[in-house]
A and B are shown apart, each in its own frame.
Chain A
Amino acid sequence: MTGPSGRRLAGLIPLFGHRPPGPTRSGPAAPGPDPAPTTRFQSRGLERFLALVCARPAAEFVDLGPVIGANIAFLGERVGCKVHVEDLYADLDQHAREGTLDRLPAILRQRFPLPDGSVDAVLAWDVFDYLDAPAATVLADELTRLLRAGGVLLAFFGAPGPRDTYTRYVIEDAQHLSARFYAGACPRRPGLQNRDIARLFERLRVVDSVLLKSGAREFLFRKPDRAGR
C-alpha cells in the first residue's frame, strides 16, 4: 500500500495459515460447550509493536479486546506495563442486540475517560472491521487523542472469520498470536481499503503494514513526536 508517509505494504510473505488440531494451551475457553477453533499465526506487527512499546518506560496500554488472562500476564508481567481494558466488542455486541448501533459514534466519543496523550500504546485488534464509517472515524479520532507523542497503535483490518463472530487474540509470545472465534451479534463489515485506513488515521504515521496470507492486514501506526518524527 502507499500511505501518506509513502510506505509500502511490506509483508507479502505468507505468515499464517496452519491450524493446530485443538485449542492452544494459552487460548481462552470458548463460550459454549464446544471449544472454538484456534488459528495460530506469526505477527510481525505485534513484534514491532512490542519493540516500540518496550522502549518506553512504564508504558500504559489500552486493550480494546475482551480481557484475556494470558494477554494480561504477558503485558503486565513480562512487558511490565499498565493495561487499561476497554472491551469494545462487548459494547458492540450489546448495541447490536439492542438495535442501537447507530448511536455508536456518540457513545464512542464519550467512551474513554482517559485524558489526552495519556497512553503509550493501543491494541485495537480487528475492532474496525465491525464499525461503519462514522463510528470508525470517531474511534480513530479518540484513539489518536489518547496516544502520547511517539505512542503506537496496532490494528488488523479484513481479518478472516465467520461473519457473525468476534475474534479473541491471544498473545502467545512476542511474535505469535492465536485467534479464536466466538459468536457475536455484530456482523463483520467489508474490509476497509488501504486509502480509507490511511484517511482514518491521518494524524498518525504508518510504521509498518503487513498483508497476511489470510488476507488480513496488520497496520502499525505511530503518533509523531513534537519533532514530527
Chain B
Amino acid sequence: MMWKREEAARPSGTASGPPPASPRTTSVPGDLERRGEHEPMRDERASIGKSIVIKGELSGSEDLTVEGQVEGKIELRDHVLTVGPHGRVKAQITAKAIVVLGQVTGNLTATEKVDIRENGAVEGDIVAPRVAIADGSHFRGSIDMQRKEAAPERAARPEAKPAAAPAASVPGQLAGV
C-alpha cells in the first residue's frame, strides 16, 4: 500500500498497483446515506507513513503528507504537499504549496508557496511566488520568486536564462547611481 489514511487506508495517485476506488468517487447515485458516511473523509489528509518507500511517479488531487521516503517525481498541482519531520524525499516536486519539515533533495515548484520550517532541509532550486524559510532550517540552491509575465524581457538578454520576470523597484528611496 502506498498511501494511507489516518484512519482508513485509501491508496491513490499513480503509485504502483491498482488503486482502490476512492470513497469520494465510489458513492452510488442515490445512495445518499452511504455517501454521507464518507463525508468526514474529506477533512482527512492522505499520508505516506514512516515505513513506506516509494520509487517512481506520484500524483494526486488531494493534499498529501509524506512521512516516509519518496524517490522520483511528485505532482500535486492544486494541492498541498507536506514533507513531515520524518519524510525523506528525493524528487522533483510540483504542487500548489509545499511545506517542508523533513528533508528534500530536488527542485521544488509551487504555484503559491514553499515553506521550509525549522529543522527542514532542502537542497535544490525553488520556483514559487512566495518562499518562507524559518531559522534553523537548511537550504542550498536557488530561489526564483520572479513573476512570470516578464519572461520575454528576460529572454531578450543574451546571457540570461529563460523564465524570469521584471525586477520590481524597491519601495523606499533608493539612491540613483
Q: Which residues of A approach B to under 8 Å, CB–CB?
A: 28-29, 31, 44, 47-48, 50-59, 67-69, 72-73, 76-87, 117-118, 148, 173-175, 207
Within 8 A of A (CB), among B105-151: 130-147, 150
Q: How far is the CA of A134 from the CA of B177 in the complex (A)?
A: 33
Q: Are the C-beta atoms of B137 and A80 separated by less than 8 Å?
A: no
> B143: which A residues are within 8 A, CB to CB?
72, 76, 82-83, 85
Size of the B side of the interface (Cβ < 8 Å), in residues, is 38
Q: How far is the CA of A136 from the CA of B84 in the complex (A)?
A: 40
Distance in Å: Cβ of B126 to nearest Cβ of chain A: 9
Given A48-B177, A51-B177: A77 touches B130 (CB 8 Å cut-off): yes
Q: Which residue of A lies closest to B153 (CB)?
A: A57
Distance in Å: Cβ of A33 to nearest Cβ of chain B: 13
Q: Which residue of A lies closest to B160 (CB)?
A: A58
Q: Which one of A57, A68, A173, A207 contacts B172 once the chains associate, using CB atoms below 8 Å? A: A173
Q: Which one of B133, B164, B169, B176 contacts A67 once the chains associate, using CB atoms below 8 Å? A: B133
Q: A48-B177, A58-B165, A73-B132 are in contact. List 12 more A-B contacts (CB 8 A).
A: A47-B175, A48-B175, A51-B174, A55-B177, A57-B154, A58-B166, A67-B137, A69-B134, A79-B170, A82-B144, A85-B142, A174-B171
What are the 8 tightest A-B residue pairs by CB atom distance, in nearest-first order?
A: A76-B145, A58-B164, A80-B168, A69-B133, A29-B135, A51-B174, A58-B154, A28-B135
B24 interface contact, C-beta 8 A: no
Q: Are the C-beta atoms of A58 and B150 separated by less than 8 Å?
A: yes
Q: How far is the CA of A76 from the CA of B139 in the complex (A)?
A: 15
Q: How far is the CA of A79 from the CA of B166 in the complex (A)?
A: 9
Q: Are the C-beta atoms of A57 and B167 separated by less than 8 Å?
A: yes
Q: Are the C-beta atoms of B177 and A76 separated by less than 8 Å?
A: no
B157 interface contact, C-beta 8 A: yes
> B176: which A residues are within 8 A, CB to CB?
51
> A57: which B residues are within 8 A, CB to CB?
150, 153-154, 157, 164, 166-167
